Structure 1
Amino acid sequence: MKFDLHTHHFRCGHADGNIRDYIEAGIEAGLQAIGISDHTPYFGSELEQAHPRIAMGKSELQHYVAEVLSLKEEYAGKIDVLLGIESDYFPVHAELYRSTLGQYPFDYVIGSVHHTEEISIFNKTRWKGLSDARKIEVKEAYYKLIAQSARSGIFQILGHIDAMKGNYPPFSEIMADHAIDETLQVIAEANVAIEINTSGKTKLSGGWYPSDAILERARHYGVKVTFGSDAHIPGRVADELEQVRTRLKEIGFTEWVYFKQKQMQIVPL
């Protein structure tokens, strides 16, 4: 089975195309299921749309859900359109996110840590002048948040779990293997899936999130895996899906998962 659970569209302010464009791209790519998963609004902000070039406004959420559900009906029999969303994880606002997202019939919610210490993980200037010890602290804090997100019960999938390397490739060399291992164990215990996200190729790091090294350890701990292109243009839907499938088999995985009505569906690779 071929699926892509991570796609965006114009509402987030930094992606091109409408939802129909991504569905059509999924059909063209031979997918059986396409997940629509645009960024949640910033629910913790008092503003209607706190970051117009990052996430949709609060009032757009209901329209987003209605459009995906309408297209799900329209495309029934051609491709399974799944209602997803990508949510930030802010511990201080976790219950607000839980209650707000719980009002809608999402097939799955992707939990992604995009900020630590109130700084974007993609802000490469955050590393300037830091000591080796401080860099380790930052990396450990990042994985601590990912572990907390897994424990929260809000998410079915965790997004791009080493994306902090995106605009700072040396991130991968910072020695914090214990933090990664502890986080992977938490993820496995929580029965949450991690995505293999091929959008790393659009950043300075290149490649996928997470690295092969992390995927090998994820398999060791029994972590479930899924696929998401993190497409921000329709042309990237299902990007490198077959290469990911092949690599997962080489690492030793025999199955991957997707979600319907928040229920894990296990399918062979």
Structure 2
Amino acid sequence: MKFDLHTHNEMCGHALGTIEDYIKAGIANDLQVIGISDHTPYFHSEEDHPYPGITMPRKDFAFYVEEVLRLKKKYEDQIKVLLGIESDFFPTHSGVYQENLLKHPFDYVIGSVHFVDDVSIFKKSRWDGLTQTEKVKTKETYFNLIEQSAKSGMFQILGHIDAMKGFYPEFSAIEIDTLDQTLQVIGESNVAIEINTSGKTKDCGGWYPSDEILERALFHKVAVTFGSDAHKPERVGDEFEEVRLKLKEIGFKEWCYYSGKQRQIVQI
């Protein structure tokens, strides 16, 4: 079975193509399951659309849900369409996100940490001038936020858990003592992590997370799933088979997708 749970569309302002374009791409690429998971609005902001080009406006959120559900019905004989969403994790604002997400019948919610100390994880210049001690602290803070997101109960999937390496490949070489603790918490919290192939489009040139993290995740009995993080339809399902073979090589026996927030096991 082929599936892809992480896809975006033009509603977020930085992806190409309509929701339907991604569903059609899934069908063309022989997927049996496709999840639509665009970025949530910034629910914690008083403005409807504080950062155009990053997320959808709050006023479009209900339409997003309605459109995915409409297309789910339209294409039910060709592919299983899942209503997903990718939500930022802000510990101090988790309540308002939870409130808004629980209003709709999501099949799953991807929780992603995009900001550390109020700075984007993808801002390469954030590392300029930092001492090694400060770099370690930044990485520890990042994984602590991921750990908190796992324990929050808000998410079925954690998104791209080492994406901070995206435009700073040196990130992977920063040694911290807390990674195994984070993976243990993820495993105990019964949430999955995604193997996200969009890292190949960034400076790091590889998937999220690294093979090393996946090996340690297996030890901690962390569930895994697949997401291309496609921002254009032609990337739907990108490198699915390569990821499947790598997981099998590492020792994983199964991966999963979610329907009605219930984990569906797929043998590797």
Report the TM-score range of the alignment, normalised by the length of the smaller protein.
over 0.9
Secondary structure, counterpart of 2:122 in structure 1: coil
Q: Which residue of 2 aligns with 1:167?
A: 167
Q: Which residue of 2 aligns with 1:243?
A: 242
Q: Which residue of 1 aligns with 2:94?
A: 94
Q: Residue 202 of structure 2 aligns to which amino acid in structure 1?
A: K
For residues 45 and 202 of structure 1, the distance between their equivalents in structure 2, rounded to whole angstroms, comes to: 30
Q: Which residue of 2 aligns with 1:46?
A: 46
Q: Does 1:134 align with 2:141?
A: no
Q: Which residue of 2 aligns with 1:157?
A: 157
| Count of residue correspondences | 268
For residues 163 and 179 of structure 1, the distance between their equivalents in structure 2, rounded to whole angstroms, comes to: 17
Q: Which residue of 1 aligns with 2:211?
A: 212
For residues 182 and 53 of structure 1, the distance between their equivalents in structure 2, rounded to whole angstroms, comes to: 35
Q: Which residue of 1 aligns with 2:202?
A: 203
For residues 181 and 59 of structure 1, the distance between their equivalents in structure 2, rounded to whole angstroms, comes to: 40
Secondary structure, counterpart of 2:58 in structure 1: coil
Secondary structure, counterpart of 2:226 in structure 1: strand
For residues 181 and 74 of structure 1, the distance between their equivalents in structure 2, rounded to whole angstroms, comes to: 44
For residues 57 and 179 of structure 1, the distance between their equivalents in structure 2, rounded to whole angstroms, comes to: 36
Q: Deviation per CA, 1:65-90, whole angstroms, max 9, x where unpaired?
A: 00000000000121000000000000
Secondary structure, counterpart of 1:256 in structure 2: strand
Counterparts of 1:21-60 in structure 2 under 5 Å? Answer: 21-60=21-60
Q: Deviation per CA, 1:233-267, whole angstroms, max 9, x where unpaired?
A: 00000000000000000000010010001001111
For residues 125 and 169 of structure 2, the distance between their equivalents in structure 1, rounded to whole angstroms, comes to: 13
Q: Deviation per CA, 1:111-151, whole angstroms, max 9, x where unpaired?
A: 00000100000000000000000000000000000000000
For residues 80 and 2 of structure 1, the distance between their equivalents in structure 2, rounded to whole angstroms, comes to: 11
- The Cα of 1:179 is off from its aligned counterpart by 1.6
Q: Residue 262 of structure 2 aligns to which amino acid in structure 1?
A: Q
Unaligned runs of 5+ in 1: none
TM-score in terms of structure 1 length: 0.99
Q: Which residue of 2 aligns with 1:16?
A: 16
For residues 256 and 77 of structure 1, the distance between their equivalents in structure 2, rounded to whole angstroms, comes to: 24
User: After the TM superposition, which parts of structure 1 deviate over 6 Å for at least 4 consecutive aligned residues?
Assistant: none
Secondary structure, counterpart of 2:246 in structure 1: helix
Q: Which residue of 1 aligns with 2:77?
A: 77
Q: Residue 201 of structure 1 aligns to which amino acid in structure 2?
A: K
RMSD, aligned α-carbons: 0.4
TM-score in terms of structure 2 length: 1.00
Report sequence identity in percent. 63
Q: Which residue of 2 aligns with 1:234?
A: 233
Secondary structure, counterpart of 1:59 in structure 2: helix
Q: Residue 252 of structure 2 aligns to which amino acid in structure 1?
A: F
Q: Residue 196 of structure 1 aligns to which amino acid in structure 2?
A: I
- The Cα of 1:225 is off from its aligned counterpart by 0.1
Q: Residue 268 of structure 1 aligns to which amino acid in structure 2?
A: Q
